[in-house]
Amino acid sequence: MRVDLGGIRMKNPVTVASGTFGYGAEYAKLVDVTRLGAITVKGIRLQPWSGNPLPRHVEVPGGMVNAIGLQGPGVEGFARDYMPFLRTTGVPVIVNIWGTSEEEYAEVARRLSEVEGVSGLELNISCPNVKEGGNAFGTDPRAVSSLVATVRRATRLPLMPKLAPNVPDIKLFVRAAQEAGADALALINTLPAMVIDIETRRPILANKVGGLSGPAIHPVAVKLVWEAAQVARVPLLAMGGIVGPDEAIEFLIAGASAVAVGTANFIDPTTPLRVLEGIEAYLRRHGMNSVAALTGSLCMTNPATNVEP
Ligand SMILES: Cc1cc2nc3c(=O)[nH]c(=O)nc-3n(C[C@H](O)[C@H](O)[C@H](O)COP(=O)(O)O)c2cc1C
């Protein structure tokens, strides 16, 4: 079950998606977090950040739309208040980082490189680039390339940009990120979305728009992971709508080396462990002796004719 996610050494391929598992400690009361392959924490920027005003999440059929706005304790607060517990778990810690300029991302990466117990950085690139008129870094391949190269120079920690799904050609972003020095890639982040209260005719979220996550986005994510795998030279961490082992196994077949459980943690915090057990059972059932054998094992023959197109 061991996976090397671009230098992040996981004892199994299952982690949790940033923002859906707090900083690990919150969930340790509910599940044995030491069984996870890695713990991925909520997004951290340089300074503490209070996020968006309430209401900032709403349930929809097939998932939820959130506009938390990346609330967090900042680098120093994270290192002081949350790392001591995380270190006791013995599980690799992936820190999701963000900023509003390349320099901020780089500074966060630099500071986290000095924090004992941080195993890798997941770069949330779905953030507005304030210096470039507020366009998200993650929807412009040149901005992704420049950002990843800047952060690369700031740290020797494994670097895993997290790709945005709302782009016309994911392969451009895979190439841009890996050529700029990414060690692994995570995908997908939430899909831009909006929910309206029809009685008041107002947006339900104070931020008006948010990001859709949960089962509704799973097939979208599978397609993007499959496309990304065709050009990726680095391992992929897949997420989007995993609710049990089947969705996770689908991602592995599509080309992912590891998977992350997100929104499902809010419904059933034991989901990551069920996913883990389900992958093990699948490997046994199919006579496969490693999870690596499953990665990218998609069979391309037509289901009706059994012929390769
Ligand atoms: C409440 C909430 C908070 C999130 N916070 C972050 C975050 O801080 N950084 C980030 O990169 N992604 C964040 N995400 C996106 C998830 O990590 C994940 O990419 C996405 O939800 C898709 O997976 P899922 O469908 O299994 O939830 C958040 C998602 C949710 C639902």
- Give the model confidence (pLDDT) of 35-59 as tens digits: 999 999 999 999 999 999 999 999 9
* Residue closest to 109 by CA, chosen among 146, 70, 160, 48: 160
CA distances from 193 to 64, 189, 208 (A): 10, 12, 9
Q: How many CB atoms lie within 10 A of CB 300?
A: 7
- In this predicted structure, what is the pLDDT of residue 197? 98
Q: What CATH architecture does domain 3-293 belong to?
A: Alpha-Beta Barrel (3.20)
Q: Rounded to the nearest 5 degrees, what angle is found at the Cα of 291, between the Cα atoms of 35 and 30? A: 20
Report the side by side order of strands in the sheet with 14-16: 14-16, 258-261, 236-239, 185-187, 159-162, 118-124, 93-97, 39-44
Tell me, using a 6 A CB cutoff, whether residue 161 lines ligand 1: no
Q: Who's near 247: CB < 8 A, 6+ residues apart?
A: 215, 218, 241
- In this predicted structure, what is the pLDDT of residue 128? 82
| Tokens read off for 112 | 């986290």
- In this predicted structure, what is the pLDDT of residue 129? 81
Q: How far is the CA of 308 from the centre of ligand 1 (A)?
A: 36
CA distances from 237 to 101, 122, 298 (A): 25, 10, 17
Q: What share of the chain is helix, strand, coil (3-state, %, to 5)?
A: 35, 20, 40
> What's the Rg (C-alpha) of the chain?
19
In ligand 1, which atom is closest to the CA atom of 17? 17
Tell me, using a 6 A CB cutoff, whether residue 40 lines ligand 1: no
* Residue closest to 141 by CA, chosen among 114, 108, 120, 164: 164
- In this predicted structure, what is the pLDDT of residue 302? 85
Q: Is the dihedral of CA 46, 116, 123, 276 positive or negative?
A: negative
Of 20, 68, 127, 160, best ligand 1 pocket probe by most atoms within 8 Å of the beta carbon: 20
Q: Whose CA is nearest to atom 26 of ligand 1?
A: 262
Catalytic residue among 17, 25, 70, 127: 127
The low-confidence residues of the chain, meaning pLDDT below 50, are none
The answer to whether the beta carbons of residues 27 and 51 sit under 8 Å apart is no
Instruction: Give residue limits of the domains in the chain.
Output: 3-293
Q: How far is the CA of 19 from the centre of ligand 1 (A)?
A: 5
In ligand 1, which atom is closest to the CA atom of 40? 17
Tell me, using a 6 A CB cutoff, whether residue 68 lines ligand 1: yes
Tell me, using a 6 A CB cutoff, whether residue 263 lines ligand 1: yes
* Residue closest to 126 by CA, chosen among 152, 150, 161, 95: 161
Q: Report the residue count for the chain.
A: 309
In ligand 1, which atom is closest to the CA atom of 218? 25
Of 213, 220, 222, 246, best ligand 1 pocket probe by most atoms within 8 Å of the beta carbon: 213
Please confirm, yes or no, whether 127 is among the known catalytic residues: yes
Q: Who's near 299: CB < 8 A, 6+ residues apart?
A: none
Q: Who's near 177: CB < 8 A, 6+ residues apart?
A: 144, 145, 148, 161, 163, 185
The answer to whether the beta carbons of residues 208 and 151 sit under 8 Å apart is no
